A and B are shown apart, each in its own frame.
Chain A
Amino acid sequence: MAKAKTETAEAVESVRIPPMQRLLDNHFLLLFLGVVVPTVLYLLWGVMELSQIPIAE
């Protein structure tokens, strides 16, 4: 009985961790975001624009 109680308490505890803290504690998700955001907004977008410049004849 006591054990079950502790388990429930633990479950409640883990549910209560706010989403922002979960994000900040998920180091590999942060790594993913930190690589993807600049890759899309700076590199890919920039390369797409440059590749549209017509080549001089």
Chain B
Amino acid sequence: MSVTTDTNIIGGVAAKFRTCPATGLDIDLAAQRLIKANAVAAIVFLAIGGLFGLLVALTRWPAVHLLSSDMFYLVLTAHGLDVLLVWIIFFEIAVLYFASAILLNCRLAAPRIAWVAFGLMMAGALLANVTVLQGEASVMFTSYVPLKAPPNFYLGLILFAVGALLGCFIFLGTLVIAKEEKTYEGSIPLVTFGALTACIIAVFTIASGAIILIPTWLWSLGYISHIDTVMYKLVWWAMGHSSQQINMAAQVAIWYAIPAILLGAKPLSEKVSRAAFLMYILFLQLASAHHMLVEPGISSEWKVFNTSYAIYLAVLGSMIHGMSIPGAIEAAQRRNGFTNGVFEWLRRAPWANPAWAGMFLSLVMFGFLGGISGVVLGTEQINIMLHNTLYVPGHFHATVVAGTTLAFMAITYLLVPLIFQREIIWPRLAKWQPYLFGLGAAGISLFMMGAGTLGVSRRHWDITFSDATLSFDYPPAAFLMLGLNGMSGILAAIGGGLFVVIIVASVLFGKKVDASNIVAALGPKPQKQMSDAVTSYGSAGTFHLPGTYILVSIFFTAFVLYYFVNWKYLSELWQMG
């Protein structure tokens, strides 16, 4: 099955390839090894970080209140670090290599440097983790000055970021090679374009990280005497929030990729979807500004421009994807023969395929829970009610857990047969995994948002204020919300644990995949053949999408209602007249 050949390469480097039995693409073995290494590292850190998340949720459940206050802040720091940075970025590097070398059918640029990048990221992640676990660096992943961690904490983050930046350059270099060697015609495929968007945002993100973390490291070493707190916050969030926009672009690319692979779905309009990605490139990073909405010292012009005018253009980009992706699915399913009624295309989608189920749940939950609450938080006036409450972690668990993490889990179910060349072990269990994790993730998001709406602070060890001089009573509903959040955390942890066990067991003990079983190994799907929609340019060519129009109308109605409900809350907070 694995035909290995040498090829002529610019720069005289010879790469070894195998031919993918499903797609016929030439797969660079060096790229394959690197994708495997980055994906495995990502999943290991997801397991560790997810466990920390469960401990945090159990501590915030007042009836359980598991950890002491010191341990709570230590574990919270480790949780944010391991899941938000390490799991997501390792996985994103795997996605970048996949979307370039594999989808463009060419060799990866500079695999040796890619291994150096991997080594730096791993060394940085370990160094930061060890420093946090030693107990002197409970500064949360935001590490706002004047909170000071030992130098190794910042050094770990810097090493990790340098590794990730090298990974981005390797992606860009691979695009250049593919163009030079003419391994694709015309424009790069849409999924690769989405990955390019993620890469561009990553370059800005990491550069901002360097601008702020290097001086902070020197400050921690004692070479710099003072770092201004507001200046720190401004530049830190250029990294902190933009890194979420890398996730956004990467996950949208995956939302296009999975229906393309499983159903043969093509975007409704290549041009419109690419224009939506362009809006991300230009405007999405400006969303960082909503973290500064309550800071004095910055003008309303800066705040309103960056969080309203500019960010609404990026939100428009998301709305376009939000219509284009279900539309592409409906168009493909109708072509696959599911034409009855308005929703047969959706009912007959491969719901037993964990890649499909994870992708679709991620899309819906991201839009309804994360997207709408994000616009609410990004509005200067309403933000004031929710700033620094548990609503904020509620919102971003809808985006990075229910959205990004679930999307990354979903594509892993395809990477295992395609790249690791193994069948998914225990397919019945795998079928349930996205639903379990999705339900848990939706629960933690909703219940944290619920508690936040009742005023409960984020990063708060004890909402009963048991040893405080001045007491304060939250409404009983807040306690209920935190209890339900703890239970949802248990569910999410079981779902996440199942994912880790299924993938590790499949990689180690799964049946080998070859030409005879590759299509079956991708899980249930309506097409008998693997589709080439993911590697080619082209639109679906139809706008007969009644189901999609109904779904999009439901979304807009929910959006408008919820947005105005929050303005109503605000009007009740400050009575006029």
Q: Chain A interface (Cβ within 8 Å of chain B)? A: 20-21, 23-25, 27-28, 30-31, 33-35, 37-39, 41-43, 45-47, 49-50, 53
Contact = CB atoms under 8 A, between A and B. Distances in A.
B285 A50 contact: no
Contacts of B218: none
B282 A33 contact: yes
A33 B285 CA distance: 12
B200 A43 contact: no
B204 A50 contact: no
B204 A34 contact: yes
Interface residues of B, number: 40
Contacts of A33: 281-282
Contacts of B306: 41-42
A35 B200 contact: yes
B567 interface: no
- Shortest Cβ-Cβ A-B pairs, 8 listed: A34-B200, A38-B285, A34-B281, A46-B234, A35-B204, A53-B297, A31-B200, A24-B274
Contact of B187 (A24, A34, A35, A38): A24
A34 B288 CA distance: 14
A42 B285 contact: yes
16 contacts: A31-B199, A31-B200, A34-B200, A34-B204, A37-B286, A41-B306, A42-B285, A42-B288, A43-B234, A45-B302, A46-B292, A49-B299, A50-B228, A50-B230, A50-B298, A53-B297
A41 B172 contact: no
Contacts, number: 83
B278 interface: yes
A30 B199 CA distance: 11
Q: Which of A20, A31, A46 lies at the interface centre, i.e. has the most chain B CB atoms within 10 A of its CB?
A: A46
A47 to B, nearest CB: 7
A24 to B, nearest CB: 5
B10 interface: no
A24 B302 contact: no
Contacts of A31: 172, 199-200, 203
Contacts of A20: 271, 275
B208 interface: yes
B193 interface: yes
A30 B193 CA distance: 11
A55 to B, nearest CB: 10
Contacts of A37: 282-283, 285-286
A30 B196 contact: yes
A53 to B, nearest CB: 5
A34 B298 contact: no
Contact of B305 (A27, A41, A53): A41
B449 to A, nearest CB: 26
Contacts of A34: 197, 200-201, 203-204, 281-282, 285
